[in-house]
Amino acid sequence: MGNVSTTETKRDYYEILGVDRSVTRDQLKQAYRQLALIYHPDRNKNPDATAKFREIAEAYAVLSDDAKRREYDATGHAGVSERWTSEDLMRDFQFGDFFGGRFDDLSGAFGDFFGQRTRPRSGASRGVDLRYDLDLTLEEAAKGGEREIPITRSEKCAPCAGSGAKPGTKPKPCPDCAGTGQTQHAKTSKGVRMVTLTTCSRCHGRGQLIEAPCTTCQGNGYEFVTHRLKVQIPAGVDDGMMIRLAKQGEPNANGGPPGDLLIRPHLRPHPSFDRHGDDLYMVKTVTFPEAALGTEISVMGLGGETLRVTVPAGTQSGTALRLSGKGMPRLGGKGKGDVSVVTEVRTPTDLTPRQRKLLEEFAGPEAERPERG
């Protein structure tokens, strides 16, 4: 017999989240929220909940990332696993994207998700960290300052006190699982009796049935509450950096400390400048005579100020002319980066007869000049 290989079969990510392939980002987020409320390990004590939540989190981590989603749509699980490990899939996303804004780091939900320890080492586990993506212009990033952002957190539903049942009623034990949240399936094979525990399909692991759901939380026991928080953005913040606000994340269902709020700035493309670290680069067109003879040009700085740039005689296309200390502020107030003006020499196309003759005269001796070894 030949060698038999086994391959772990993964469910389709779209199927896991209960969405079709044309799902929008907002629809994807909503589907994830609803499933996360049911299977989050801090709220669902069923042994299967952690594995289910891992599956949901991985599916969302891939489909919420444009590059990973394109790869998955084109090649499926095989293509994704070739390019990214499980740790890679979760590194940028880090388990969150929960309840409004985008969230990061499931710290405290379960300790070693894909080998990463996120649970505090002592005391009660923290609530889920939230992540908020903040769009900034390059000017706003350079200036810094205070911003007010909306953050939506899940909080215990006030009308039903978190029971999920309509006020005046109570949940009842699930008859299928006797309130345990699990159902047993026994099988005997070769005299050995095996019992498998699975999540109760009727109560979804809660152990209770709500006959009259609370109209505020639709039976979840939690409602989304939006808060407006003032955030100090440091001058010089760069794309992808993380700003952490302690204890502004999700509350912990078991009474532990709340998670943190992680704010990730995203800089919009600038019409004139490209940023590389603390330095800024811009392209400036100069005429052939200006490049050959030298000149002084003006460019507008990031703050709207006029910057004077000396173009030396004989400047070639692609030359970077540096203006020290005119770039982005360095974090911590340690000066500024530089601005580099990259020249683009414009070759004339509509020459007058006289201009053509002068260039031909100029090209004559130039062509006869021996090459430098």
Could you tell me the residue ranges of all domains in the chain? 274-355
Per-residue pLDDT of 10-51, as tens digits, reads: 789 999 999 998 898 888 988 888 888 788 776 777 777 788
pLDDT given for residue 286 in this prediction: 96
d(CA 244, CA 247): 9
Measured over the CA atoms of residue 47, residue 156, residue 263 and residue 19, the dihedral's sign is positive
pLDDT given for residue 6 in this prediction: 35
Does the model's pTM come out above 0.85? no
Higher pLDDT, 184 or 3: 184
**pLDDT above 90 covers what percent of the chain?**
37
Count of C-beta atoms within a 10 Å radius of residue 281: 17
Per-residue pLDDT of 113-165, as tens digits, reads: 333 333 333 445 678 888 899 999 999 999 999 999 999 888 888 899 888 89
Contact 59, 35 (CB under 8 A): no
**Considering only CA atoms, which of 76, 120, 124, 128 is closest in space to residue 98?**
128
d(CA 283, CA 291): 14
d(CA 110, CA 53): 10
Contact 162, 154 (CB under 8 A): no
Higher pLDDT, 40 or 98: 40
Q: What is the DSSP string of 229-266?
A: EEEEEPTT--TT--EEETT-SPPPTTS-----EEEEEE
- Beta partners for 297? 309
Containing H/E element for 282? Answer: strand 279-287
Measured over the CA atoms of residue 22, residue 26, residue 28 and residue 30, the dihedral's sign is negative
**Considering only CA atoms, which of 20, 95, 55 is closest in space to residue 199?**
55
Region 274-355: CATH code: 2.60.260.20
**φ/ψ of residue 9, rounded to 5:** -95, 125
Count of C-beta atoms within a 10 Å radius of residue 170: 12
Contact 224, 99 (CB under 8 A): yes
d(CA 170, CA 158): 15
Containing H/E element for 186? Answer: strand 182-189
d(CA 173, CA 214): 17
Per-residue pLDDT of 305-335, as tens digits, reads: 999 999 999 999 999 999 999 999 998 888 9
**Considering only CA atoms, which of 319, 5, 313, 252 is closest in space to residue 107?**
252
**Considering only CA atoms, which of 125, 109, 118 is closest in space to residue 87?**
118
* Sheet of 243-245, strands arranged across: 130-136, 261-267, 243-245
Q: Which of 99-108, 159-168, 298-307: highest mean pLDDT?
A: 298-307
**Considering only CA atoms, which of 360, 236, 342 is closest in space to residue 291?**
342
